[in-house]
Amino acid sequence: MAIYKIVELGNKILRERAKAVPKITSNILKLLDNMADTLYSEKGVGLAAPQVGVAKRVVVIDAGEGLVELINPEIIKFEGQETDTEGCLSIPGTVGDVTRAAAVEVKCQDRHGKEQIIQASNLFARVLQHEIDHLDGVLFIDRAKKVWKVKN
């Protein structure tokens, strides 16, 4: 078990487009495992590789229904719209109201290289969009209508 240090706002990796994973290697599997450990240690619901200093298109999510690992995720369908409050492990003490699609369909690979299609709504859809944004160098504060500080 390895816990990564979370990269915070101001680090340029958070503003870069992450690179696709051409081949799933033992290093990618280790990255997935360590990202999951980090996610649970930080009590987050989603974590993208750039948030741990790795510019790869890798995401882990647990929005309450178990761990989901995504390699090279891409949103292929959006539906509806809803606004809710979001925060981010890379921007501690800050939240904001963000409008996102109410439901999404995401194409990705699992840890075995098998292509998956994930259909999501509600919180899971929001977390998918938030984490995939990280892979494109976009932060929730870029999309927020209103941002404010909270006490930790």
For position 54, which CATH number holds?
A: 3.90.45.10
Tokens of 132: 């995939």
**For the chain, how many structural domains are there in total?**
1
Which residue matches tokens 């990618």? 28
| The predicted structure's pLDDT at residue 151 | 82
| The predicted structure's pLDDT at residue 152 | 61
Query: Is 3 within the bounds of a domain?
Result: no
Does the predicted TM-score (pTM) go above 0.75? yes
Residue 130 in marked binding region: yes
Half-sphere exposure of 143 (CA within 13 A, CB side): 21
Q: Which of 54, 124, 39 is nearest to 89 (CA)?
A: 39
Based on the residue annotation, tell me whether 105 is a catalytic residue of this protein: no
Task: Say if CB 28 and CB 58 are below 8 A apart.
Answer: yes
| The predicted structure's pLDDT at residue 98 | 98
Alpha-carbon distances, residue 59 vs 50, 80, 93, 141, 146 (angstroms): 9, 23, 22, 19, 26
Query: Is 21 within the bounds of a domain?
Result: yes
Tokens of 4: 């990564």
| The predicted structure's pLDDT at residue 126 | 98
Query: Is 39 within the bounds of a domain?
Result: yes
Burial pattern 132-146, b for ≥16 Cβ within 10 A else e, equals bbbbebbbbeebbee
Residue range of the domain that includes 70: 12-149
Query: Is 62 within the bounds of a domain?
Result: yes
Alpha-carbon distances, residue 91 vs 33, 65, 143, 147, 152 (angstroms): 23, 25, 14, 11, 12
| The predicted structure's pLDDT at residue 9 | 98
Query: Is 2 within the bounds of a domain?
Result: no
Query: Is 48 within the bounds of a domain?
Result: yes
**Helix residue spans in 50-152 (DSSP H):** 122-135, 140-143
Per-residue pLDDT of the chain (152 residues; tens, 9 = 90+): 799 999 999 999 999 999 999 999 999 999 999 999 999 999 999 999 999 999 999 999 999 999 999 999 999 999 999 999 999 999 999 999 999 999 999 999 999 999 999 999 999 999 999 999 999 999 999 999 999 999 86
